Structure formats: C-alpha cells, structure tokens
Amino acid sequence: MGVTWAILWKDLLGEWRSRDRMIAMLLFCFLMAVVFWFALPDRHPEEWKELLPGLLWTAYVFASLLGLNRSFALELENDALAGLALTPGNRGFVFLGKAAASFVLISVVEALTAAAFGLLFGVNLIEVSLGLAGAVALATVGIASIGTLLAAMAVRSRFQELLLPILMLPALFPVLAAAVDASRATISGLPLPFEAIQLLIVVDGIYLVVGFLTFDFVLDE
C-alpha cells in the first residue's frame, strides 16, 4: 500500500503545481453548461430537474476523458513510465494509486460543475447534495478505475486521444445508466434506487479487480 500512497501523492502534488488537467476539465464543463443554457429553451424548474442529470453526466464523462487522457502523458513525456514498471511489488498498487488520484481530481471537478449547473439552471442541489454526492462518487470510482486501465493501454498509441474514448465509452454504459438513474431520483427528491446503487457497486468492484490484476501486463506492453 505504500506504493499506492506514493503514486497518489506524486500525482496530486504534480497537479497542484501545474493545475493543467483540472483547469482544462473545469473550463470544458463550464463551457458545456453555457452551451446547454443557450441551446435549450426556457423551462420550468421542475422540468430542469428531469433534464439536469443527463446534462451533468454528459459534462462529467467528457471532462473525465479529457483528464484521463493526460493521466499517463507526463510519465510518457519524461520517460517515467519505465520507472512505474520497475516499481517493486505488485504493480496493481500502482494502478490503485493512479486511479485514486484520478478519482480525487474528477470528484473536485464534478462538485464545482454541479454547483455551476445548479446556479445556471436554477435547480437547488444543496438540499439533495448528500444523496447526489454518494451516487456520483460510486460512479466516479468506476470511471476512474476503468479509465486508468484503458489510459495506460492507450498512452503509447499514436492515436491516444481517439483510442481512449473508443475503448472507454462502451465500458461506461452500465455506469452511466445507473448513475443517471440514481442522480435523477436524488434531484427529484426521491430515495436512491437500490437497483442503480447495486449495479454501481458491482461494476466498480469488477473494474477495480480487473484493473488490479491486469495492470502488471499492461505496463509490460
């Protein structure tokens, strides 16, 4: 676990110094909020509650792709990817550290994006913030875990920016289906649907286990 904490600290410290990924993700989400605000006709606040989960998750997914595309780029540019491959012990702990760092960064962007969407579309998300945060956090675990694994696979490709979305979006279908369902129920003031939460937990567990067990082979490629 020491490797996991070291990788997590390294990635978060590097992002704090440069802030390139987070700023890019936030700008992208805020621009999407503005585009949606201009493109969609005026609606009653209750109607916005029905539409907001889909709009939020559209922004979340594409911002996550933007950030995950850069998650291994720094190691590749500085030839540090070989250093990760030489990490003593199980390389699955490297995967956990990278996934945890992506989870933290994506979560911060998601929280600020939700605040921006709520203000822009006149939907009060403070009252449902606890349930919404729980649903979003569970979905973000799946996004960060499968995204980290696929980003490591795509980073050496000449078509990295194109390959990661092609690989990742189909894998996110069950996550997005459950996340949008849970977010819509929460924003509408309903209890979190058990089926959606159950699906998120199962998919998160599968992606984490697969990433942990296969990351050793991915770094060797």
Query: For residue range 27-78, what is the model confidence (pLDDT) as tens digits?
Result: 999 999 999 888 887 777 677 888 888 999 999 999 999 888 887 776 666 6
Residue 29 near residue 113 (C-beta atoms within 8 A):
yes
Tell me how far apart the alpha carbons of residues 26 and 28 are, in angstroms, rounded to a whole number: 5
Q: Dihedral of CA 138/126/192/186: which sign? A: negative
What is residue 195's predicted lDDT score, i.e. its pLDDT? 92
In this structure, of 52-56, 122-126, 166-170, 205-209, the range with the lowest mean pLDDT score is 122-126
- Rounded alpha-carbon distances, angstroms, from residue 129 to 33, 117, 124, 146: 19, 13, 9, 26
Q: Smallest Cα–Cα separation from 69: which of 142, 157, 5?
A: 157
- Rounded alpha-carbon distances, angstroms, from residue 210 to 3, 22, 146, 207: 19, 27, 9, 5
pLDDT band of 143, cuts 50, 70, 90: very high
Q: Smallest Cα–Cα separation from 152: which of 84, 88, 104, 208?
A: 84
Q: What is the mean pLDDT of the chain?
A: 85
Q: Dihedral of CA 98/100/102/105: which sign? A: negative
